[in-house]
Chain A
Amino acid sequence: MSPVPALVTLRIDGVEVSVEPGTVIIRAAERAGIAIPRFCDHPLLAPVGACRQCLVDVASPGPDGALRAFPKPQAACTMPVSAGMEVHTAATSEAAASAERSVMELILATHPLDCPICDKAGECPLQNQAMSSGRDISRYTGSKRTYAKPIGLTAGILLDRERCVLCQRCTRFASEIAGDPFIALQGRGGSQQVGRFDPEVLGFAGHGEAAPGAPAAARAGLADPADAVTAELVPIGDTANLAPAAGPATTELPPVPEDSPTPGEAPGTALAADGTPFASYFAGNIVQLCPVGALTSTAYRFRSRPFDLVSTPSVAEHDSSCSAVRVDVRGGRVRRRLAGNDPAVNREWLSDKDRFAFAWQSLPERLTTPLIREGGILRQASWPEAIAAAAKGLAEADGVGVVPGGRLTIEDALAYSVVARTVLGTVDIDFRARPHSAEEARFLGQAVAGTGLGVTFDDLVSATRIVFVGFEPEEEGGIVYLRCREAVKAGATIVAIAPYASPGVRRLGGTLIQVVPGGEAAALDALADDAGAMAGTVILLGERLALSPGAFTSALAAERAGARVAWIPRRVGERGAVDAGCLPGPLRPALAAAIAEHGGAVGSAAADLEVPSATNPDGATDPDGVTNPDGTMGPGRPSGADGPVEPGSCAGRDTTAIFAAAMAGEIGGLLIAGVELGDLPNPAQARAGVERAFTVSLEVLPSAVTELADVVLPVAPPAEKPGTYVTWEGRMRPFPQVLVTTAMSDATVLAALAAKLGVPVDLSLTAAHAVLAEAAGAAETPIPAASPPDDPAPLEVTLPEDSVPSTQDPAAPENTIPPAEGSTPASYVPPSPVAGEALLATWHLALDAGRLGSGEPHLAATAKAPFAVLSRATAFEIDVRDGEPLQVSTAAGAIVVPVRIADIPDRVVWLPTNSPSCQVRATLGASAGIVHIEAAPTDQPEVHT
């Protein structure tokens, strides 16, 4: 324990305040409740002292103890406190007041004072402080700065330069926090301005032709290629890339084919040398940071006045970080979202997706009326009719599979869990609408479900080493990326176990442990061999590890060796779904008991849980169903299974098995919430399953599922219901209802459905909270001592391309480490592609074709254009050059995207999972394994399906 540093006591305007040493005066004044005007100062940015608005009078004791006044006023935002210091702000010092007034006069001198047409007016620090320290009438009579307005910094962010007070908050955010300096100061003096490496501003106009052979970054006028966005997407291992083997063209950055997708074509949006827009996944923060109206977002500009907005604190729905947001509503519509201030989670930052992608909740095509399929066609129906139809169909179906998806609140997830087990009498429930494995399910059951708050964001920042496995924080982790940058600044090192070092990992200064897809387990084992280095190490596991045999097992081994392990899924509802028991098989005892106590059928207890009901044609109670011999609870058999259920064989079907069974007619009903078929491991099979089975779809927006469903029940998007998300840490993030509408939450609809099925259950928020509180309070079954720490205890391995229905495998009870049997990670040998083949590596880009980005074109325009990554040798082998179109194909279909040469293992191809024109699962029907690669004809770069 380091000793707590003694506090420093000083007086500000006569008020005594004690603060930690090193605190700057302006923070100490805040502590004392004294306001000092400021523009450049921001608590989360390094002090810069640029605007000079916070000048105060300072005197501090000299060596003899006598107070000595500083001859000049000092910037309160940069001067650290010292013991016995006497600070006088404008409130008590004429010198400070005079300084404050003069700086304000100078700031306002050339400001356009166009508040009547400025979006910021009404919530503008400049406006407010001009009222408190400015003159009534300006003495400035000269001409003001005028610029073409606005310019687009990104497709989503506009800059009116004449309003800018050059406080540098935005440029400092870009370099300090996001680390992708897509904007910088340009020019100097009165013509200094924020911009985006603008050739005209920088005087480079007409200098387009640089000396041949000059490094690309130098030609772009960038001092440090490693930091620059233009260089960001230059493939890794560029020394190899610069070798002449692939022809002279490789010494240039690849020209992007003219017909390839080039987002970011909003007015004024410049493209970097490689055709990607200057952009950042966190750019929207600068709009909120701006203390004047210089930065506005395309989506909100001229849409509302701050005083017409009704603001509600809420939680963002786009990733498992569950960032705090403020939702601003006017006229019954969400107009914008701002970052909430939550130091423990997202600080004051937000990803652009969380900030801008809210239009999906109120798209014109949103489902508002229940639909029933009649004569093959969906028609509108009343709620009672639709509920009755759904109940009838599910009751008549021989077995029901429940696929609730990964985007639910924990209350809604719990509703699916309860309805599946107590009303539909099935354990065929799986939230994982993405590639998954039995090993993953066990990992989630043991190491995640009901474990409460584990590794936290703050733990990341205090870690000495952070290891990413199957996880790209910048693309898949939202705000996790910014917190990892914070960790790096605090001294942490970053290690990525991945096929190649992504730009995000490189900007974190990370070290790459290069593996072929599937090699993660071996790399983790090797890492854990250095047991001494495991203390202080945090291992972050992505959902993609389900495709990597043995990886979860190895992660648990590393945890036993002293590391801390956290699972970071992409979707907002996955952690909550795990906690709510939306995994196949029986519930963990604590949750089952809590449901029996608080969340079962109305007015009753465990007895009602024991009724398998609807799916059991004869209505007989299965005595083994609830309390299994091993002590777990819940209906004890997969839907449709005949005969008595043997103890230990009570595991349910996972997502793939559910759809396979539906396709095969083994189960006759499907209950599906927010799931895109294209996200599933096998979209074609899922489609066939939905087509064959009686499907009830609870959805917000029309989807492939709703098109094929037999009954569609519209449900509320997050803004129209209260609920709770759970962060990947296990932190509960309750949020209130923002908009009052008639839309109902999934749980409300499910309760109506359950009632119609004759099993009324209490799925209210109150009941859900009681269940969750009870489950969290109950002592979970400890991990049995039978598994000694040095026992590798591998989980069962499922090969990535082999999604064996888990009903075939005897599942171990949850909360225990399963016995060591089956193949061990070390024995896993990845398939060996031959020439013309490659192992597929893929992950989602943060901004892609995901459904929740719908309706926000400005945000979509800042997405990275899809591209494939190959090693130089592999590219050479199939005769494709950097920038040329590459065709990646399976029997199911082919994708054509431009290729980038990078340091990736030979015969491995990386593709973005779900970008426009590159939808891996839907097109290739694969998520891993061997795919064919070949040079595509250059005149056909569009998608072939």
Chain B
Amino acid sequence: MSELTPVLTARWGMPDSWRLETYRRDGGYQALAKALTMEPSALVDEIKASGLRGRGGAGFPAGMKWSFLPKPDGGPRYLVVNADESEPGTCKDVPLMMADPHLLVEGIAITAYAIGCDHAFVYLRGEVVHAYRRLMGAVEEAKAAGLLGQDILGSGWGLELTVHAGAGAYICGEETALLESLEGKRGQPRLKPPFPAVAGLYARPTVVNNVETIASVPGIVARGVEWFTAMGTERSKGHGIFSLSGHVTRPGQYEAPFGITLRELLTMAGGIRAGHELKFWTPGGSSTPLFTAEHLDVPLDYEQVAAAGSMLGTRAIQIFDDTTCVVRATARWMEFYAHESCGKCTPCREGTMWLWGTVLAIQEGRGKPEDLDILADIPASIVGKAFCPLGDGAPSALTSSMRYFRSEYEDHIHLGGCPFDPAASILLEEVAL
């Protein structure tokens, strides 16, 4: 039985957890002080050795990404933190920035130092104004305390940190679209190569990492590689936040080592909604193929989730019990992708619209048997043919739900309507008046 490993979430319950004072009292910024005594290359090596993988969904080893930067040429190099958390079900970065923004700021300072960057950016989802304010407040505090700005902690090295609020586009979580948006252009993905490590922000070498990835850096620096690698599985090291939402007794953020199973997480979270059974769940957000109850014991790390036919993604575990109409859930997800497709490439722009319209028609009882052929064929016209991963992930829920629950689609068509009571799946919370 895995245990929770609160590292990133350790201070979330503390009073005034977002204050510099609270953070420092708990050992904050000591990792930065330590890092500033090290050679930048040694820091990169340490993160490489820790096996820290990108927490934004793709799981690319962070240290390796840093080492892809070309040799310094005297020009600027940038660190851009991807805080455009928009994947349905994913809700780890925003609470982290709300509750413990200094952890991110310290991680940014250490990473920037490691990669030779003196101007870092956080690209934040614009809708979360509260998190934006917290983060801005933390930057101000850190600056006033000499933890950002000129000559940090007397090291002679300085860092400017800019927090930028996006305008609300899922595509801007894709790193090159994020860079476009950050440069003030339309948020649409760029052609790669060149990769951001070579020509990223303002065509300069750039590292783009997720909030959780960067927030994991201070812990590794402070406590060492061995501490970190003691957690997790062979190729998925360390701790990560598992976001449980939906028909679960105690939804929330559960920080645990990689390799924990949903069965274990559900035990910690008080199980499925009382009186119901698990029907299906997303292991890593709506872009990852659905799992069902048969996958309760799949260890949640990159390799084993993939082996079971899905992706670990952002560990956004959305849980649906037996009251849920899978067609209705899928229609919602398809609407999301049709709404969020940036429109650049044909397969994603047209395919997501077509899928949404077709699933919606079935869910509303207007479906025809031949629609099932469309739902079988069109995903293949998008996946692997779209310009960026948005299109690749868009039909995942549809394709997997067709695999596990095809009969429900057929029922909708034959019945001319939805056999489920939508009210039954709604989560009601008693509110004390």
| Chain A interface residues (CB < 8 Å from chain B) | 47-53, 55, 71-73, 78, 99, 102-103, 105-107, 109-110, 139-140, 142-143, 165-166, 184-185, 187-192, 223-224
Contacts and interface: CB of A to CB of B under 8 A. Distances in A.
Contacts of B351: 106
B354 interface: yes
A55 B347 CA distance: 12
Contact of A223 (B185, B339, B354, B381): B185
A110 B350 contact: yes
B358 A49 contact: no
Nearest to A186: B186
Contacts of B380: 102
20 contacts: A49-B387, A50-B345, A51-B346, A53-B346, A72-B384, A78-B191, A102-B385, A105-B381, A106-B378, A107-B350, A110-B350, A110-B353, A139-B370, A142-B358, A166-B343, A166-B346, A188-B342, A190-B341, A190-B349, A190-B353
A224 B349 contact: no
Contacts of A166: 343-344, 346, 349
Nearest to A101: B381
Given A189-B342, A223-B184, A47 B191 contact: yes
Contacts of B373: 139
7 closest cross-chain pairs (CB), A and B: A192-B343, A102-B381, A72-B384, A106-B350, A189-B341, A223-B184, A142-B357
A137 to B, nearest CB: 12
Contacts of B354: 106, 109, 140, 142
B351 to A, nearest CB: 6
Question: Would you call the interface of chain A mostly helix, strand, loop, or mixed?
Answer: loop
A103 B350 CA distance: 9
B145 interface: no
B98 interface: no
B395 to A, nearest CB: 13
A184 B343 CA distance: 13
A109 B350 contact: yes
B343 A106 contact: no
B340 interface: yes
Given A139-B374, A166-B343, A189 B352 contact: yes
A55 B341 CA distance: 20
A103 B349 contact: no
B386 interface: yes
Given A49-B387, A140-B354, A189-B339, A103 B191 contact: no
A48 B191 contact: yes
A50 B357 contact: no
B208 interface: no
A189 B349 contact: yes
Nearest to A75: B387
B43 interface: no
Interface string B321-362: 000000000000000001111111111011111100110010
A73 B386 CA distance: 10
A49 B191 contact: yes
B402 interface: no
B80 interface: no
B169 interface: yes
A142 B366 CA distance: 11
Contacts of A73: 384-385
A421 B373 CA distance: 83
Interface string B368-384: 00100110011011001
B171 to A, nearest CB: 8
Given A52-B386, A103-B347, A106-B350, 17 more contacts: A51-B346, A52-B347, A52-B387, A71-B384, A72-B385, A78-B191, A102-B378, A106-B354, A143-B357, A166-B344, A166-B349, A184-B186, A188-B171, A189-B342, A190-B343, A190-B350, A192-B343
Nearest to B358: A142
B353 A103 contact: no
Contacts of B185: 223
Given A72-B384, A109-B354, A224-B184, A49 B169 contact: no
A456 to B, nearest CB: 31
B248 to A, nearest CB: 32
A52 B353 contact: no
B346 A165 contact: yes
Nearest to B353: A190
A106 B184 contact: no
A48 B342 CA distance: 14
B347 to A, nearest CB: 6
B255 to A, nearest CB: 34
Contacts of A53: 346
A102 B354 CA distance: 13
Contact of B346 (A106, A142, A223): A106
B338 A52 contact: no
Contacts of A192: 342-344, 349
Given A142-B357, A189-B352, A190-B341, A50 B385 contact: no
A511 to B, nearest CB: 23
B343 A185 contact: yes
Contacts of A142: 353-354, 357-358, 361
Contacts of B384: 71-73
A70 to B, nearest CB: 10
A187 B384 CA distance: 24
Contacts of B387: 49-50, 52
B343 A188 contact: yes
A106 B358 contact: no
Contacts of A50: 344-346, 387
Contacts of B184: 223-224
Contacts of A143: 357
A52 B345 contact: yes
Interface in B168-208: 169, 171, 184-186, 188, 191
B343 A187 contact: yes
Contacts of B191: 47-49, 78
A55 B345 contact: no
Contacts of A140: 354
A103 B346 contact: yes
Given A52-B347, A52-B387, A107-B346, A189 B338 contact: yes
From A51, A72, A187, A190, name the one whose CB has the most chain B CB atoms within 10 angstroms.
A190
B386 to A, nearest CB: 7
Contacts of A110: 350, 353
Nearest to B357: A142
A187 B187 CA distance: 10
Contact of A189 (B347, B353, B361): B353
A522 B311 CA distance: 71
From B361, B373, B385, name the one whose CB has the most chain A CB atoms within 10 angstroms.
B385
Contacts of A224: 184
Contact of B381 (A47, A48, A103): A103
A185 B188 CA distance: 11
A99 B385 contact: yes
Nearest to A39: B346
A793 B188 CA distance: 59
Nearest to A55: B385
Contacts of A72: 384-385
B52 to A, nearest CB: 26
Contacts of A105: 381
A939 B382 CA distance: 62
